[in-house]
Amino acid sequence: MDATVLIPPEVRARLRGLRLVARSGAGDGLGQHPSRSRGAGLEFAQYRAYEPGDELRRVDWKLYARSDRYFVREAERDSPLTVWLLLDATASMRQADMARPAWAKLDAAKALAACVIELALRQGDRFGLIALGGAAPLAIPAAAGPRQRDRCLLGLAGLAGAGSWPDEATLKPLLERIAPGALVLLLSDFFDAAAVALAERLSDARREVLCVQLLGADERDFPFRGGHRFRDPESDAERIVDAGAVRSDFLARFAAARTELAGRFAARGIRHTGYVLDEPLDAPLRVLFGPSPSGRGVGARVRKRDDLPSSSGPSSAPSGHLLPRGEGE
């Protein structure tokens, strides 16, 4: 399948300045990514707090004498990255806006995934695809090269939003494919609490997680007037309301839920951005993978002696409600 079917030419042109970069180290091999590694002759990258099991010869004793804290030195080398694309293909992803009914959240998720596949292919990285929803999840094991791209694009082309979030028995064998250190991009509207929990679970298991929350402009602006029936596409529950009367309350709750979701992700160190269907397709990619002041890509961070790691860990994620889900009529 030709990637141009999913990636508009003007968007493809703007991908040239983007680069997939992991904050954590990548695996062994030849690629374009700085990876934490051991051995002589490798360029110093950063310090990190000592952990039980670290070799004593890697402790910087001069730094210990000045700080009274134990730090180990880490080096870097160029290594390939493994990128996993996780797509929410449940029924809520069929939602589109009244102004553009042929452009649904799932269409945007497919196009964003195709863009990341092109970036990974250009960099020589491995990439895999998992789509959750419908009658059965789609899983394409991680690999590299043009043939792998074609496999993933064919998988994306066949996706249709249906069903609800899979249960644990279905998820577990899929998630076991994602090795520690992998970069995971989760594309979802995050209306299902289980989708948020999955992002947190992967982050806690030492996978680097990035999230793009896909929303409709109608959900953001609530432009409805008069009597309206809203239907949950996954449970078929319905609610008839006077749209004008509930608009202010809906927008306030919607904004609060988005803020709360961002807080939960931030508490886990999960990079997160949003995408609304009336925005440029590459906007979230530029947030996550655009150039940073260091020149290494967003999210890459090399710590020197003046930027020592804190001994404190991430805070717990607050609990709370998620965004409402529904289709208007």
Strands 271-276 and 208-215: parallel
> Helix or strand or coil: residue 213?
strand
Q: In what order do the strands lie in the sheet with 227-231?
A: 238-242, 227-231, 327-328
Q: Which two tokens stand for residue 269?
A: 């160190």
Helix axes 243-267 and 193-204, enclosed angle (nearest 10) = 10
Q: What is the pTM assigned to this prediction?
A: 0.75
Q: From first to last of its 329 residues, what are the pLDDT tens digits of the chain?
A: 556 689 999 999 999 889 998 875 444 443 444 444 343 334 566 777 887 666 787 788 988 898 988 888 765 544 579 999 999 999 999 999 999 999 999 999 999 999 999 999 999 999 999 999 877 789 999 999 999 999 999 999 999 999 999 999 999 999 999 998 899 999 999 999 999 999 999 999 989 999 999 999 999 999 999 999 999 888 889 999 999 999 999 999 999 999 999 999 999 999 999 999 999 999 999 999 998 644 444 443 333 333 333 333 333 332 233 334 444 44
In the chain the domains, ranked by start, together with CATH numbers, are 3-18+81-289 (3.40.50.410), 33-78 (no CATH)
Q: Which two tokens stand for residue 270?
A: 């999960």
Q: Which two tokens stand for residue 12?
A: 């493809």
Of the candidates 210, 179, 158, 157, which has an alpha carbon nearest to the alpha carbon of residue 28? Answer: 179
Tokens 């309350």 correspond to 249
> Helix or strand or coil: residue 178?
coil
Q: Residue 156: exposed, middle, or buried by beta-carbon count in 10 A (0-12, 13-18, 19+)?
A: buried
The answer to whether residues 242 and 227 touch, using CB atoms and an 8 Å cutoff, is yes
The answer to whether residues 71 and 59 touch, using CB atoms and an 8 Å cutoff, is yes
Angstrom distances, CA of residue 33 to CA of 21, 30, 166, 288: 7, 9, 33, 16
Angstrom distances, CA of residue 239 to CA of 98, 162, 209, 216: 19, 21, 35, 19
Supply the DSSP symbol for 135: S
Fill in the amino acid letter for 210: L
| CA–CA separation, 96 and 35 (whole Å) | 40
**Residue-level length of the chain:** 329
| CA–CA separation, 317 and 170 (whole Å) | 25
The answer to whether residues 223 and 285 touch, using CB atoms and an 8 Å cutoff, is no
